[in-house]
Structure 1
Amino acid sequence: MKLVQFGLMLAAMSSRTILASADDLPLPPLPPWYPLKPWQISSVSTYNPHDSPYSANASGLLLTISNVQSIPAVPAPHGSGGGYAAFKTSTAQCELHWKADALTPYGYSTNSCISDAHPNDYSNAQWQVTLNELHTDLSSPGDYYFSVSFQLSYNATIYATQGYKRMTGSTNFRASTNLEGQCGDDGLCEYNLRNTSSPALLQPTLVECKSACG
């Protein structure tokens, strides 16, 4: 009987030991190029009529955003020196127009971002911008507020291997913090990114990856 009890106790201790060892195992290593460097928003320009309601496309937003980091795309063959072929840095101008009322398209994504990629650029950088939230109660100048999200994807076949990366990030702008501007006598309110807030930094997150992921 004592032998059985000892065996059960030993089994329980072994189980606890195994579980403890599993908890102590290190996490898989992150890629050497991770975390990603912040994206940089170097310019923001927005306009909005003071009075509502008003027609479609009466409000607009123009931003310039850059990915300043070269990101590994696919492993390079040893004959080419090894290492990685990299997706290039990318800058884009993104533009949105909307009618600021109950129908404002929150969550509306658009590919109206024009990047600086050349026709022969294998990186194939594609930017998208989404309007997440808009607050235009201009009775208080500091209440002008909007938030946006960006998506950047790279997709290319290099050395007969497909490389793909998709990254996303969000940020917000407010008249009382990082925007400056005013409402003119013509009823149009215009705001721009403050010089002291340029560039505005936006931390991206890698959400999809194929090849050179770790």
Structure 2
Amino acid sequence: MRNLKFFALASLFALGRSSEQHQQPQGDLKPWEVTRLSTYSPSGRPGSSPLAHLWATIANPNSIPAGSGASFEPSKANCTVDWTWSTEEPYGRTVSCTTGNQTAISDSISKWTIEIIKANSNYSSPTEDFDVKFTLTANLTVNGEDYYKVLAGTQHFAVGENMRGTCGGSGLCSWGLMDESNPVLIEPTLVASS
């Protein structure tokens, strides 16, 4: 009887560990890579567009085990955040990114979002000093079983740190990643999974 109880407990532990392995990314995740990030603020002159922009390209180089021998595949996205310069701030809005075509050999579907977060700084412009949060949601169906993982990562961007550019006499400013800072790396963290 004692051996039977031990066997039952050992089986439950093994089953729990097996389930737990599917909940956590296995192995070390490589950092995400931001290969393009630029901002634009308008001049504010009459007749010119009032829109400010942030453009970013992010890539996840990881293939993450999902279960049943399947994996969430690497992915890449282009993100754009637009806002009216004189009347809006871009902070706190989650915006969907464009992922392009998924690979034909995988049933893994990746969705990316971007959110600009206000940095604690002296800069008054949300195009010159800010944090960006990227979120990746990966979905996969294998043999009728649905799997998903949600990962998120945040990075700081600022003129003079990892961005440079120019402001014209009209007030128009344009900033982008410094060549020596490209790519900017972001450590992803697992937020949710099944």
- TM-score bracket, normalised by the shorter chain, equals 0.7 to 0.9
SS of the residue corresponding to residue 113 of structure 1 reads coil
- 1:90 aligned onto 2:75: yes
Q: Alignment RMSD, CA only? A: 2.9
Q: Give, in whole Å, the separation in 2 of the partners of 1:181 and 1:40.
A: 21
- 1:38 aligned onto 2:31: yes
Contact 1:57 1:97 in 2 (8 A): no
The aligned residue for residue 117 of structure 2 is 132
Q: Give, in whole Å, the separation in 2 of the partners of 1:32 and 1:192.
A: 32
Give the aligned length. 171
Change (3 A) 1:60 1:32: closer
- 1:123 aligned onto 2:108: yes
The aligned residue for residue 202 of structure 1 is 186
Identity percentage of aligned residues: 32
Change (3 A) 1:121 1:70: same
Q: Give, in whole Å, the separation in 2 of the partners of 1:94 and 1:32.
A: 25
Unaligned runs of 5+ in 1: 1-27, 76-83
Unaligned runs of 5+ in 2: 1-16
2:91 aligned to which of 106, 125, 131: 106
* Greater gyration radius: 1
Contact 1:47 1:190 in 2 (8 A): yes
Contact 2:39 2:52 in 1 (8 A): yes
Q: Give, in whole Å, the separation in 1 of the partners of 2:158 and 2:74.
A: 28
The aligned residue for residue 161 of structure 2 is 177
